[in-house]
Amino acid sequence: MDPKSPRATDASSQVDLTVDMAGLKLRNPVMTASGTFASGREYADFLDLSRLGAVVTKGVSLEPWAGNASPRIAETASGMLNSIGLQNPGVEAFVARDLAWLAGHDVPVIVNVSGHTVKEYAAVVERLDAEPSVAGMEINISCPNVDAGGMAFGTDCTAAAEVTRAARAVTGKPLIIKLSPNVTDIADIARAVEAAGADAVSLINTVLGMSIDARSRRPRLARTVGGLSGPAIKPVALRMVWQVASAIELPVIGMGGVRTAEDAVEFMLAGATAVAVGTASFVDPTATIRVIDGLESFCQETGVAHVSDLTGALVL
Amino acid sequence: MCSTDIHERRPVLEHVEVMANDRLAQGVGLLVMRAPRIAASVEPGQFVHLRISMGTDSILRRPFSVHRVVGDTIEVLYQVLGRGTRDLAGKRRGDAMDAIGPLGHGWKVEPGVAHALLVAGGLGAAPLGMLAEDLAGRGVAVSVALGAPTAERLVARALFERVARRVELATDDGSAGEAGFVTSVSARLLERDLPDIVCVCGPEIMARRVAEQAADAGVRCLVSLERLMACGVGACLSCVVTTKSGRLRACVDGPVFDAEEVVWDGSEVPPRH
Ligand SMILES: Cc1cc2nc3c(=O)[nH]c(=O)nc-3n(C[C@H](O)[C@H](O)[C@H](O)COP(=O)(O)OP(=O)(O)OC[C@H]3O[C@@H](n4cnc5c(N)ncnc54)[C@H](O)[C@@H]3O)c2cc1C
Ligand SMILES: Cc1cc2nc3c(=O)[nH]c(=O)nc-3n(C[C@H](O)[C@H](O)[C@H](O)COP(=O)(O)O)c2cc1C
Ligand code: FES
């Protein structure tokens, strides 16, 4: 079916794709992964945004961030590394330009938030809380904590809880904490942010990695290390989603290498309420729509009436 | 930014069929694809983002300039470098791929321009081929400085010789034209032909040198830059070029930039060894 046309109501289709996630009612459980879809405008040429469960935007910070030096990406086996460095124009420009555009597109908007300090995170969340078109916020705690020597907030239970509490104090909107996989025990971090007032968690962010050009003896990324994404990380992501979903009561948004409807089903079986498609959109700009249509067919074929029945239905 | 221009033709995702794929020289091929929607709207300097492999091993698309448009086909001139271009060289007539295009902003040469100098290094000849045909068709006088490692690798030479007033060559080994860099040819043509505009594509070190020559001569210079690209559509910020107005995306704000705007900070695609 043409990914650009709105889905016709199909009388024979009895599958209920809607999901409730942290107080948000989503058309279907498929969202975009932050940083891989900008604010949707670039992909509106290829698909109808209103078909998506939600658009999760690129990370937004208080002030503009210039990002890292180039090269910023490297293709690796079944995946890619990136060190974009959260380049963004700052929250005011985002609200004026991107959010204003997205607001007219009949799709829940979840804004991904970056910060270097707890105060910065809270300031962005407070600013976005004032915007009616923001359905929810996703806090990227993989950012370096400037006050703690650059170690990511998300690698420490205390720092992760502190960011969560500060964000919770300034918004009543759904608050999703995005977890980093680069930790010893991701379930510990999940429990810490749950106790600090999060409404949901999303995982996984990219896996820290490195690529070297043997001939020049140089790292392929200007920043030497970067985040791995794509099909290569799916087994790691599934394991972590399963661990976290078993450890906390909050809904989980699963991501990491989702490319097909079956990938999405696997994440839901592992305990995810919703999923996000990231790197796959670079390869196929209509990947999100393929996953949505494929989920519906999967449910029809396998006799699943509500897609949410898949959540946590792993047979052990 | 530029992407809000409502008159702009928007990119499409198109299934393309390989019509021909011929080896032109050692490691250089010409791919002809039936792509009616892209062919109908592509402009000189724009590119397509090709999905060469459907597997999940090598996952990213590969960007290629459109070299020529013939009817409902587009032509791509490619150099075999790594896995993607090796797979591309293996495509046969009838094979299917998909392409996103046309992408980016190409060379906008205003109607007042009477004489244009095109400077091509290696496969930089690919997008400049389409520009040369377009300009010649509009009655603009075209001079071309064309450089490559060897005479055999001056792959678009015949096209340029067909449409340009003057084509001067440089090869590393002196097997055609003068032995040495294309930048000595461009310096000479800038002085002799007094062009109104210089359009460049090639290795960044060469493009930068030509930009300096044009600046010294007081001539406007538009340079096409290569960056590593993931999405190709402006979403991922992989491909930024540092400019006087900040970091812009080569895939949508470029790949052609006004050389005056570019900050040459070494963020190009690393050279191969
Ligand atoms: C706008 C634009 C237009 C281009 N037009 C042409 C053209 O007309 N003809 C042509 O032969 N080449 C062109 N290139 C370069 C071409 O994209 C690369 O040579 C190609 O991607 C190499 O792929 P590979 O798998 O063979 O190499 P690998 O080295 O195996 O590729 C690994 C990764 O690096 C990327 N990469 C490697 N070299 C380059 C490069 N020079 N530029 C951008 N990405 C690179 C690949 O896309 C891939 O993601 C263009 C690049 C850009 C950005
Ligand atoms: C180029 C790129 C940019 C990203 N930017 C962000 C970001 O700004 N904020 C964030 O929380 N995650 C960011 N991510 C991580 C993704 O949202 C996602 O968690 C990760 O890529 C795994 O999913 P995938 O394998 O489907 O891509 C980025 C990923 C990529 C590849
Ligand atoms: S390649 Fe993604 S923004 Fe240019």
Strands (E), A116-156: 136-140
Same domain, B199 and B153: yes
pLDDT tens readout for residues B122-142: 999 999 999 999 999 999 999
| B64 and B132 belong to one structural domain | no
Which domain, by its residues, includes B178?
115-268
Q: Residue B6 has what pLDDT? A: 44
Task: Identify the H or E element spanning A113.
Answer: strand A109-113
Is the minimum CB–CB distance between A262 and chain B shorter than 8 Å?
Answer: no
Three-state DSSP state, B148: strand
* Number of the ligand closest to the Cα of B236: 3
Kindly report the CATH number assigned to the domain that includes residue B220. Answer: 3.40.50.80
CB contact at 8 A, A232 and A78: yes
**B3 has pLDDT over 50:** no
* Residue A174 pLDDT > 60: yes
Cα end-to-end distance, chain B, whole Å:
37
Query: Strands A175-178 and A136-140: what pairing?
Result: parallel
* Count of the separate structural domains present in chain B: 2
Round to whole Å and give the CA distance between A65 and A60. 9
Tell me, what's the pLDDT at A14? 86
Q: Could you report the per-residue pLDDT of A52-96, keeping only the tens digit for each? A: 999 999 999 999 999 999 999 999 999 999 999 999 999 999 999
Is any ligand 3 atom within 6 A of the Cβ of residue B89?
A: no
Q: Are residues B169 and B219 in the same domain?
A: yes
DSSP sequence for B36-80: HHHHHH--TT-EEEEE---SSSS-S-EEEE--EEETTEEEEEEE-
Is this structure's pTM higher than 0.90? yes
Chain A residues with CB-CB distance to B236 below 8 A: 35-36, 38, 73, 82, 84, 282
Interface list for A 19-38 with B (CB within 8 A): 35-38
Q: What is the mean pLDDT of residues A277-299?
A: 98
Q: Which of A177, A154, A151, A181 is nearest to A164 (CA)?
A: A177
Are the beta carbons of B64 and A235 closer than 8 angstroms?
no
Q: Domain holding B63: CATH number? A: 2.40.30.10
Enter the tokens of residue A279: 């790197």
Q: Can you say whether the dihedral through the CA atoms of A188, A190, A192, A194 is positive or negative?
A: negative
Q: Which residue has the tokens 């505009």?
A: B197
- Where does chain A have alpha helices with state H? 91-93, 100-102, 118-129, 157-170, 186-195, 234-247, 261-269, 280-283, 287-302
Cβ-based contacts of A82 with chain B (< 8 Å) = 230, 236, 238
Question: What single letter denotes the amino acid at residue A253?
Answer: I
Is residue B110 included in any domain, yes or no?
Answer: no
Instruction: Pick the residue from chain A with its C-alpha nearest to B57.
Output: A78
B41-65, pLDDT tens digit by residue? 999 999 999 999 888 787 899 999 9
User: Quick check: is B216 in a domain?
Assistant: yes
Query: pLDDT tens-digit profile of A206-235?
Result: 999 999 999 999 999 999 999 999 999 999
* B237 and B121 assigned to the same domain: yes
End-to-end C-alpha distance for chain A, whole angstroms: 36
Contact B229, B237 (CB under 8 A): no
C-alpha span between B114 and B107 (Å, rounded): 15
Single out the residue in B66, B83, B103 at which a domain terminates.
B103
- Residue of A70, A72, A73, A75 with the most ligand 1 atoms within 8 Å of its CB, for mutation: A75
Mutate to test the pocket of ligand 3, among B239, B267, B269 (most ligand atoms within 8 A of CB): B239
Domains and CATH numbers, chain A: 11-310 (3.20.20.70)
Interface of B with A in 183-242 (CB under 8 A): 227-228, 230-238, 240
